[in-house]
Amino acid sequence: MLYQDAFLARLEAGLRTLLPQWGLPGAAPLSLLTVSENATYCVEDEEAGRKLILRVHRPGYRTSQEILSELAWIEALRAGAVVETPAPIAARDGTLLCSFDDGGHPRYVVAFEHMSGREPEAADDLVPWFERLGRITARLHGHSRGWQRPSWFVRKSWTYETILGEAPYWGNWRAGLGLEAPGKVILERTEAVLRRQIEAYGMAPERFGLVHADLRLANLLVDGDRLGVIDFDDCGLSWYAFDFAAAVSFHEHHAFIPAVKAAWIEGYRAVAPLALADEQAIDMFLMLRRLHLTAWIASHSETPTAQSMGVPYTHGTVDLADAYLRKHG
């Protein structure tokens, strides 16, 4: 239960001490936008008529080198006009990564330009947007495959071990909210099937590389016919096909999944090849991601997203796993 009122009050107070580093008055209007891994704020400079988005990083989640590596990829993507995404904004001294002290612990802060738009909603007709997202994802993957990363570049890997292994980054799905013994048996069997399938699929370079890893609706911004992408905080090394599974996070059970999957594949193939084996692996990664998020909801239960999902999400995971076993078990 990290993001309690007292902690958020400390974050805002610390953040205000940094505002002058971006040429902003310490008393500028500051509003909390989202709490997920991190706390994200919008600050307005009313006199200058500009807005900045400030991301205060979750304690202990990212190293400074990992954050700077994320920003390096964003800047390279922007330089290559690969995707429309907000620019990181340097402080007056030129640094992209600032911090304030919170009881002897640094709290890292990154500023981004404000991007207009709204999050697509599950009730929208998502098919055209997922066709567009497939094209964007293919361009991201193409850049990833060809980009010469800086020698100091470091990002975490999203693999079977870090998602479902003995020390997963987001906790153990067995702590899933409301998970009961019969459901645990089903999920144990599903995990064993996924392990075999993922080992068989492998991590060859054509299948595994630097990906966004969180292209979900909350990280997309629609404005007219523009589809912008935000929040590369989870970018890391994983399977390219995993990016579709991440794109439908928290909606894996919805009836629209087959339609948006087909649209995403169509869009992807309009830009780059997608092997049949990779297309067939998407359902495997959907199930993997569902278990991943079941653990995340339990370990981040104080966040609004986790609270909106709660126990029903865990029960839905069991239902999806049961169906998955009937097909693959």
Look up tokens 């087959």; give the residue: 258
> pLDDT tens, position by position, for the chain (329 residues)?
688 889 999 999 999 999 999 999 888 999 999 998 899 999 998 777 789 999 999 988 899 999 999 999 999 999 999 999 999 999 999 999 999 999 888 999 999 999 999 999 988 999 999 999 999 999 999 999 999 999 999 999 999 999 999 889 999 999 999 999 999 999 999 999 999 999 999 999 999 999 999 999 999 999 999 999 999 999 999 999 999 999 999 999 999 999 999 999 999 999 999 999 999 999 999 999 999 999 999 999 989 999 999 999 999 999 999 999 999 97
Rounded-to-integer distance, Cα 205 and Cα 29, Å: 47
Rounded-to-integer distance, Cα 156 and Cα 210, Å: 10
Rounded-to-integer distance, Cα 135 and Cα 299, Å: 33
Residue 107 neighbours by CB under 8 Å, 6+ apart: 11, 14, 56, 57, 59, 99, 100, 101
- CATH architecture classification, 127-328: Alpha-Beta Complex (3.90)
Domain limits, CATH 3.30.200.20, in the chain: 5-113
What fold, for 5-113? Phosphorylase Kinase; domain 1 (3.30.200)
Tell if the pTM clears 0.75, that is, is over it. Answer: yes
Looking at residue 1, what is its pLDDT? Answer: 64
Domain limits, CATH 3.90.1200.10, in the chain: 127-328
